[in-house]
Structure 1
Amino acid sequence: MAIRISAAAPAAALALGLLLASPSASVVGQFAAPAIAAPAARTSQQSAALQTYENALKNFEAILRQRRAQIDSKQPLPNLPGQALYLARVEMMSTYKDLTDALPSRIGKPNRFGIPPAYFDAGNEPLLEEYRKLFDVMEAPPAGAQTSDTPFKDVVDLATVVARAKGLDAADAAVAGRISLGLFFAETNGKQNAGNARSNTYKGSLQTGPSEDRNGQRKWAAIKGSVAALDPALSRRDDKEEARAGNLDHRYNHWTAVRDGLMNAQAELFPEVPAIQKTLPDPIDQMKLFELIQIIPTPTRAALRSGNLVGYRISDARIMRYLRNNSIFAFGRADRARTSATFREILDAMWLFNAKFEQALARFKEIKAGKPG
């Protein structure tokens, strides 16, 4: 779950559950918890951890069944229909981490989602497959949303030209494009015009709110002349998309949603890309940092200004709470008990984003190789 904050107050939750879709199908009604072999003897702590996990697993399965039945029978869904699903998924993983801390022998084989085995039993993969499918239904774009035939290339092209307008050379601007493609995958799994099952505020390809979109539009207007000089063809495409969007919510035109989302927050940090690359040479770490601009913008900007990005420590309980609401330090008692963390520790704890960013890197390479995007 992603919770955004501003300098003053929390904003609403992002929609996505931070899990990749799997190509395998699952069948509602056939979920089954993997068999648990009873050890010869357990301590009271181990027995309690096992019971708590089993209860959380049953609750997650029950909520999945309920939401699937509502969707299949076309019943009205509750407000924010993804919230209960998300919380149940977090609780299942959190209690499993508590269980494997108490019983390390329960750590099993790797899973297709790339979740560390100490946090998730691979035997429950069908549950997460169904979880993602339900979110795909609940977050489908509304009727009238305007798609692009090249959604990934659009993100890269827009970010690249904005970075050039901000003064970066071609090589560093390409890095800004790569980072921005990672944001698209982090926010919506790379799905354009996504709705939001956990927020009535954040929508579209970069999951912005109305005020953020308007702010992005204003900032774009301020650099449009520079963009036109750098890339006349892209500027003409922008004019066409503006005319196409008309009175539509700009967040439901993929091009304008990406453009305004980038201009709202990330573009102001594009001039820092050369320095960020030196501090964080791993492309996935770079993407994580820019995702933190989405989640905890004020502390992230402070860390960048500090001169010691990776060592900058967050100790504010409110910020730690927002990180946990984004599935960072959210699983297991040990992580939830943390009262502070450095940015290096935060980046390392963002492992649920890794598979998304790896997808973005692969897609970026395809775009640079000339494949349609």
Structure 2
Amino acid sequence: MEFRRLAAGALAALAFLVTAPAIGQQGTLTSRQSEALAAYERALADFKSILAERRRQIEAKQPLPSLPGQGLYLARIAVISTYKDLTDAIPSRIGKPNKFEIPPAYFDADIEPLIDEYSRLFDVMEAPPAGAQDSPTPFNDVADLAFAIARAKGLAPEPAEVAGRISLGLFFAETNGKQNVRNARSNTYMGSFQTGPSEDRNGRRKWEALKGAIAAIDPELSARDDKEEARARGTDQRFNHWTNVRNGLMNAHADLFREIPGIVKTLPHPIDQMKLFELIQIVPTPTRSALKSGDLLNYRVSSRTVMKHLRNNSIFAFGQADRSRSSASFREILAAMWLFNRKFERAMAKYAEIKAR
């Protein structure tokens, strides 16, 4: 019943928004302004349409298309992109702040209900599979594993705590802090840390090599690991929260934990530190090169493939000005990761809560 009430409320909000006033009060528009307005209205109508379609399919228990979230994702990108083009053409369209902390030039706060419905649909489409092995302490697990790995890699306790906080940020960045989820936009990346099969296997091999050092530092955590290994035996380890977090950290991030003291000097703000490690997830090779360069913030990438990967992860993805970029420095990339800010703020709050306990 509660689910149906939420769905009904979402559809009512969509119906209201369909009748939201257009920009008729702007006076005579230039050709560029008219085109920008028309593009935004089309994108908004398409977004509402696909939201309603997915909701109908789910409510009717109809089969969903392959990668059912991809169309939703692209429609959301189009709404934000065309709104940015609209506010570039008509700056007076920049409105009030929104609860998602998206810069107002990119987002009309009046359509917040659409994004809420978008999130609810993804919750349904990405629900963990039957048999997924949850943890009663998912956030503590992330922080504890990262801290132990960092200590085993030679870090002192204080920078190892930073590793724990950063890793909690990765959990929120990848899944909004939800464990064992599937992926409505990919058939490859799954689980709490959204790893592919090869990444998961690689992380598991690296963990086995480090297991002795981990046991010496934290026998209790090592014993927990033995239990989770036994629990996950014969299954896809990506759907055991503990093993997927462990393998994900070992695959992509653990080797860089040694660099944390230098990273903190260059990037003193915790959110920037989290952004950098998220870039290890998104574009690992140029991020490692930037770290090795000795001039991280001014290191520039110009590969079309790298820029494509950034855009596919909501960085330089919105509006013609951003999408026309052919290169960017890491200073610019970090600044463009504003869509991650709210997730990382939640991670910082959760980490503070864990430490207070």
Cα distance in 1 for partners of 2:151, 2:311 equals 35
Partner of 2:230: 243
Is 1:148 aligned to 2:135, yes or no?
yes
Cα distance in 2 for partners of 1:251, 1:321 equals 26
Structure 2 residue aligned with 1:293, among 273, 280, 291? 280
Is 1:93 aligned to 2:80, yes or no?
yes
Structure 2 residue aligned with 1:302, among 277, 289, 298? 289
For residue 354 of structure 1, what is the amino acid of its counterpart?
N
Relative contact order, higher structure (CA 8 A, sep 6+) = 1
Matches within 5 A, 1:154-193: 154-193=141-180
For residue 101 of structure 2, what is the amino acid of its counterpart?
G
**CA deviation string 1:42-64 (max 9, x = no partner):** 11110110001000000000000
Cα distance in 2 for partners of 1:131, 1:357 equals 20
How far 1:273 moved relative to its partner?
0.3
Cα distance in 2 for partners of 1:311, 1:273 equals 19
Cα distance in 2 for partners of 1:199, 1:28 equals 27
Structure 2 residue aligned with 1:36, among 12, 16, 22? 22
Distance 1:44 1:283, change over 3 A: same
**CA deviation string 1:200-250 (max 9, x = no partner):** 000000000111110011000001000000000000000011111111110
Structure 1 residue runs of 4 or more that deviate by more than 3 Å after TM superposition: 23-26
Cα distance in 1 for partners of 2:281, 2:236 equals 21
How far 1:25 moved relative to its partner?
8.8
Q: Does the CA contact (< 8 Å) of 2:7 and 2:55 recur in 1?
A: no
For residue 106 of structure 2, what is the amino acid of its counterpart?
Y
How far 1:24 moved relative to its partner?
11
Structure 2 residue aligned with 1:320, among 307, 314, 333? 307
Cα distance in 1 for partners of 2:191, 2:143 equals 17
Secondary structure class of the residue paired with 2:262: helix
For residue 286 of structure 1, what is the amino acid of its counterpart?
Q
For residue 175 of structure 2, what is the amino acid of its counterpart?
T
Cα distance in 2 for partners of 1:158, 1:196 equals 23
Partner of 1:357: 344
Cα distance in 2 for partners of 1:287, 1:340 equals 22
Higher helix share: 2
Distance 1:25 1:118, change over 3 A: farther
Cα distance in 1 for partners of 2:131, 2:125 equals 16
Secondary structure class of the residue paired with 2:255: helix
Cα distance in 2 for partners of 1:256, 1:35 equals 50
- Return the TM-score normalized by structure 2: 0.96
Partner of 2:109: 122
Q: Does the CA contact (< 8 Å) of 1:191 and 1:205 recur in 2?
A: yes
Q: Does the CA contact (< 8 Å) of 1:82 and 1:197 recur in 2?
A: yes
Secondary structure class of the residue paired with 1:111: coil
Cα distance in 1 for partners of 2:58, 2:206 equals 40
Q: Give the aligned length.
A: 348
Partner of 2:10: 27
Cα distance in 2 for partners of 1:268, 1:245 equals 25
Secondary structure class of the residue paired with 1:260: helix
For residue 122 of structure 1, what is the amino acid of its counterpart?
A
How far 1:29 moved relative to its partner?
4.9
Q: Does the CA contact (< 8 Å) of 1:64 and 1:130 recur in 2?
A: yes
How far 1:170 moved relative to its partner?
0.2
How far 1:321 moved relative to its partner?
1.2
Partner of 1:139: 126
Partner of 2:181: 194
Identity of aligned residues (%): 68
- Return the TM-score normalized by structure 1: 0.92
Cα distance in 2 for partners of 1:83, 1:314 equals 27
Distance 1:24 1:170, change over 3 A: farther
Cα distance in 1 for partners of 2:149, 2:264 equals 18
Partner of 1:234: 221
Distance 1:25 1:110, change over 3 A: farther
For residue 355 of structure 2, what is the amino acid of its counterpart?
K
How far 1:36 moved relative to its partner?
2.5
Q: Does the CA contact (< 8 Å) of 1:163 and 1:176 recur in 2?
A: yes
Q: Gaps (5+ residues) in structure 2?
A: 1-5
How far 1:30 moved relative to its partner?
3.7
How far 1:35 moved relative to its partner?
1.4
Structure 1 residue aligned with 2:64, among 77, 83, 93? 77
